[in-house]
Amino acid sequence: MAGQVLVRLPTTLAARVASAAEADGLTAAAWLRALAVAAVGARPEDAAPVRAYRRPAPPPPEHVVEIARLRESVGELAGAMVQAAIASRVAGRGADHAAIEAALPGVRQVARDLDRLKRAMLGDSGGGR
């Protein structure tokens, strides 16, 4: 876990720190980290910068809407495929029926994946599913 320290410096001192850091080819934060490591006798690798956690930005609403529309279309496709499978079976086209039945699980999986994606985009865990 990264620690964080906010240091307020007078403008003139901050400018001198920035100049010294630039002269060493470092950012002011990296330069101050190196000084802190040296001052407390820590290992040099302890001065490695640590990224601050940033909560991901929410997806644009239009992306969520498009996922919902796509999910609806996939649902309609699955329904049409079921109807086609029934019609092909009734018409005695066994090969067509078998091909449609074989494709249906994949289409249903896409629908579940889109549901999962939409929940993730909205920050909803889906109730442990």
Mark whether 69 and 100 lie in a shared domain: yes
Closest CA to 107 of 84, 89, 81: 81
Residue finishing a domain among 54, 75, 91 = 54
pLDDT at 87 > cutoff 50: yes
Coil vs helix vs strand at 71: helix
pLDDT beyond 80 at 51: no
Query: pLDDT digits over 8-43, tens only?
Result: 999 999 999 999 989 988 888 888 988 988 899 888
89 and 104 housed in the same domain: yes
Do the domain assignments include residue 128? no
> Which segment of 12-16, 37-41, 55-59, 106-110 scores lowest on mean pLDDT?
55-59
Task: Tell me which residue range forms the domain holding 66.
Answer: 61-121
Same domain, 42 and 67: no
- Mark whether 46 and 82 lie in a shared domain: no
Pick from 25, 24, 46: which is nearest to 36 by CA? 46
* 71 and 27 both lie in a single domain: no
How confident is the model over 108-123, as a mean pLDDT?
A: 93
Question: How many domains is the chain built from?
Answer: 2
